[in-house]
Amino acid sequence: MARQGSGLLTIAHKEFLDHVRSRKFLLILGIFLVIAVVGIISGVADYNKSLSVYNQHMSAASASPAPDTMGDKPSILSVFSSVSTYLVFLGAILGIAMGFDLVTKEKESKSLKILLSHPVYRDEVINGKALGSIAALAFALAIVFVLCLAALLVCGIIPGSGELSLIGVFAIVSFLFIFSYFAIALFMSTVSEESGSALIYTLIIFIALSSLLPMLANDTVMETLTGSPPEFPRELVDRMETQGNTTKSVSISFDTSGNDPAWQEYSSKLNAYWEKRQALTDTISLFSPTMNYQKISSSVTNTESGNVLISGTGSGTGIVASSSFAKAGFQSVNVPDIIAGSLVNILALLIFPILFFGLSYLRFMRLDVR
């Protein structure tokens, strides 16, 4: 019999409908939507407040006779910062809820043996179940982001092309994050005999990856692993004391532009120390989907739109891009740089679900069904 893939599509379609019609999915999605809307409203209020303060400072600085460069204009992407906070917990719960009983419920009801007795291949069963669940996850996330964009438009905020691109990146990364915990739950469902056990194992892994692993990146653990920072040179302290200063009044600056050999040596050691700590922290974060997602979402949602140059001469002033929604060329969002800065975390977040889905596939293909 030739393989036409009809079994795969049939199973995927059935799984998708089962998910979107289930009370479990609808309940979590409903909570998801409510919290997303609340997050957007809160984010819009904070954005408008920051924008108002920014415009006030710009107006005040425009009266200055000398040119001045204002701070960075608030970014529309900051509105999604609160959404990412809720996604870290609810997104993981949604993925786990949809995957922990995907295979075990078939084992418990003895329907898996009946299903495999039909003219359908094993890989079509596991792939179809996963595909239908992934489609349901994408459907839920699409509803959330469409609702968020609609809320922005209702509030009078129109994202630019660069900002829309980053919102798209944020949506894709959010999907990968949810898919990661779905893949973990699916794997636990293939190795467990009961849904309860699969859920417990998945929650243990979720807690370990989202709470316990980040604890390894705190200051106490980092100092244990990398040692204490280099001490400030006594030579420089003595020199400052001889100039009439006390050690309590020493203001440490990390400016290495001076030619003092002792200061340059200290700065070099201090920079090397913090680079080592940062590298270790970054390495630890690669093993946690939660930490990867938080770092990526922070890079995307905390983007800045650029500086505004304000010039004035006496009674006449010139303000460049004074409108809160002005689209000057120098205010464009540098999407490639933001993605490049988070590329390692994006790849780690992509590898995680691929790895666990691959393990689920291998386990299911060797599953003894009796």
pLDDT digits (tens, 9 = 90+) for 269-305: 788 888 888 788 888 888 889 999 988 988 888 754 4
Write down the pLDDT at residue 327.
36
Selection from 47, 106, 34 nearest residue 79 by Cα: 47
Instruction: Say if 242 falls within a structural domain.
Output: no
Indicate the pLDDT class of residue 315, thresholds 50, 70 and 90.
very low
Number of domains in the chain: 1
269: in domain = no
Q: What is the mean pLDDT of the chain?
A: 77
Mean pLDDT of 5-17: 84
Domain that holds residue 177: 6-214+288-365
Q: Which two tokens stand for residue 323?
A: 């409108």
Assign 317 a pLDDT band (cuts: 50, 70, 90).
very low
Ramachandran bin of 227, using left for φ above 0, alpha for ψ from -120 to 50, beta for the remaining angles = left
What confidence category does residue 330 fall into, taking pLDDT thresholds of 50, 70 and 90? Answer: very low
More confident residue, 158 or 305: 158
Q: How confident is the model at residue 59 (pLDDT cuts 50, 70, 90)?
A: confident
Closest to 178 in 3D by CA, of 210, 155, 200, 208:
210
What average pLDDT score do residues 196-207 get? Answer: 93
Whether 247 maps to a domain, the answer reads no
Contact 173, 297 (CB under 8 A): yes
pLDDT in tens, 174-190: 999 999 999 999 999 99
What is the distance, to the nearest Å, from the Cα of residue 351 to the centroid of all Cα atoms in its chain?
15
In a domain, 225, yes or no: no
Whether residue 62 is contained in a domain is answered as: yes
E-assigned strand segments in 177-315: 309-313
Is it the case that residue 331 has pLDDT exceeding 50? no
Tell whether 309 is covered by a domain. Answer: yes
* Number of neighbours of residue 72 by Cβ within 10 angstroms: 13
Domain contains 274: no
Q: How confident is the model at residue 64 (pLDDT cuts 50, 70, 90)?
A: low
Count of residues for the chain?
A: 370
